[in-house]
Amino acid sequence: MKVTRELFDEVMAPNYNPAKMIPVRGVGSRVWDQNGEEYIDLAGGIAVNALGHCHPALVTALKEQSEKLWHLSNVFTNEPALRLAKKLTDLTFADRVYFCNSGAEANEAALKLARRWALDHYGEDKNQIIAFKQGFHGRTFFTVTVGGQPAYSDGFGPKPGAIDHVAYNDLDALKAIMSDKTCAVMMEPLQGEGGIISPTDEFIKGVRELCDKHNALLIFDEVQAGVGRTGHLYAYMGLGVAPDILTTAKALGGGFPVGAMLATADVAASLKVGTHGSTYGGNPLACAVAEAAIDTINTPEVLEGVKQREALFRKGLQAINEKYDVFSEVRGKGLLLGAALNEKYQGRSRDFLVAAADHKLMCLVAGVNVVRFAPSLIISEEDIAEGLARFEKAVAQVVNG
């Protein structure tokens, strides 16, 4: 059977509109399509392929585990899941881990846990969840409602209640609606889909203090910002604030679907037997690959390398901007960066994305005004230079019409 882009329109639900080309192979930060055309990947599957495509350590872990054990129900545990959980608790603030398949599922678990914890300790009136405008936490009905972008949650009927939103980095707005009825505040320690927005020191510390004051849990959604993306294993480690619950996915499996919710022992105790579950959560294949990803990423070489590569990207984007004057600023941290378009190019981020594809470059957007880059954490200097050279051609194409 000949597989073409047209087949997508015949057999797939129309909620995606993928590019015309179909990638078939990837190595490192290079990808080839059906016609053998080579692309530079500065998208990383939306911050997923943290070690690029087909990293030997991940391939080896997957091959070895595939010959041992593929799946068990959670009537049983398994060695890869326990090894990964032990590493995650040893390396973070957390004492307990819950495994699932995706960031949305990790966030769903976190929100359910927060509500159950509040009910157990304070009663049914303590149920308010506060999140932030332009935030993104997944596409389940609960997580998409907590996410602060109504365009994603409108049109599906009545939404879950007791959820409020305030502006990110506005501590006074948060203070105004928090009370002892607040059970949790959920936030990204670096907003991704909302435009690559970093928190101020005052804001992030103030949120923690308000949660402590009102006996509310602080949930960090590190689905996109975690696993080395900011130059720390988890972003909170560079902010001087620890959450009560943290969610992680995307880069955790380096491309293999896996997610996790991390929590302190006291909080996790409310997730008693039978309160939540996942058929594939803790899958041996996924956990074996994730353990290899954590072992590879959590090294001084890789984490320091992220900061060095950030500097190269910033320098290259600055040079492009000095020539074409299209960006107002470059936002973000580590290798989660956003080139924010200036007033002349408002609303046109997708034009840059499409032009980049014309020049064999894979990048992303974060809303209509930001071009986003989330490449492999170990992308070579050569691929950074070549990728930015192709991006410059894309910028020229947009500017010159």
Per-residue pLDDT of the chain (401 residues; tens, 9 = 90+): 899 999 999 999 999 999 999 999 999 999 999 999 999 999 999 999 999 999 999 999 999 999 999 999 999 999 999 999 999 999 999 999 999 999 999 999 999 999 999 999 999 999 999 999 999 999 999 999 999 999 999 999 999 999 999 999 999 999 999 999 999 999 999 999 889 999 999 999 999 999 999 999 999 999 999 999 999 999 999 999 999 999 999 999 999 999 999 999 999 999 999 999 999 999 999 999 999 999 999 999 999 999 999 999 999 999 999 999 999 999 999 999 999 999 999 999 999 999 999 999 999 999 999 999 999 999 999 999 999 999 999 999 999 98
221 a known binding residue?
Answer: yes
Q: Write down the residue that tokens 């907590």 correspond to.
A: 146
330 neighbors 317 (Cβ within 8 angstroms): yes
Instruction: Answer yes or no: is 102 a known binding residue.
Output: no
Q: Give the closest residue to 370 by CA, choosing from 341, 390, 401.
A: 341
- Taking the model in full, what pTM does it have? 0.97
Burial class (CB in 10 A: 0-12, 13-18, 19+), 265: exposed
**Chain centre distance of CA 250:** 6
CB atoms within 10 A of CB 93: 17
CA distance 329 to 91: 34
Which alpha helices (DSSP H) does 154-200 contain, by range?
Answer: 171-177
Is 47 part of any known ligand binding site? no
* Residue 206 annotated as binding site: no
Q: Is 104 annotated as a binding residue?
A: yes
pLDDT digits (tens, 9 = 90+) for 324-365: 999 999 999 999 999 999 999 999 999 999 999 999 999 999
What are the structural domains of the chain? 5-55+300-399 (3.90.1150.10), 57-297 (3.40.640.10)
Edge-to-edge strands, sheet with 370-373: 327-333, 336-341, 370-373, 364-365
User: Of the candidates 287, 261, 234, which has an alpha carbon nearest to the alpha carbon of residue 95?
Assistant: 261
* b/e burial code for range 300-339 (CB count within 10 A of at least 16 → b): eebbebbeebbeebeebbeebbeeeebbbebbbbbbbbbb
Given a contact cutoff of 8 angstroms between Cβ atoms, the answer to whether 375 and 335 are in contact is: yes
CB 251 within 8 A of CB 266: no
**Strand 128-132 relative to strand 163-166, pairing:** parallel
Contacts 24+ apart (CB under 8 A), 73-78: 73/279, 74/277, 74/278, 74/279, 74/281, 74/282, 77/282, 78/282, 78/284, 78/287
User: Is 75 annotated as a binding-site member?
Assistant: no
Measure the CA–CA gap between 216 and 236, rounded to whole angstroms: 18
- The answer to whether the annotation marks 278 as part of a ligand binding site is yes
85 in a known ligand binding site: no
Cβ–Cβ < 8 Å for 251, 52: no
Element holding 59 (H helix, E strand): helix 56-66
Backbone phi and psi for residue 97, each to the nearest 5 degrees, phi listed first: -130, 140
Structure tokens at 140: 């389940």
Go through 124-142 and write b for each residue having 16 or more CB atoms within 10 A of its CB, e for each that does not: eebbbbbbbbbbbbbeeeb
279 is in an annotated binding site: yes
Helix%, strand%, coil% for the chain, nearest 5: 40, 20, 40
The residues annotated as belonging to the active site are 136, 221, 250
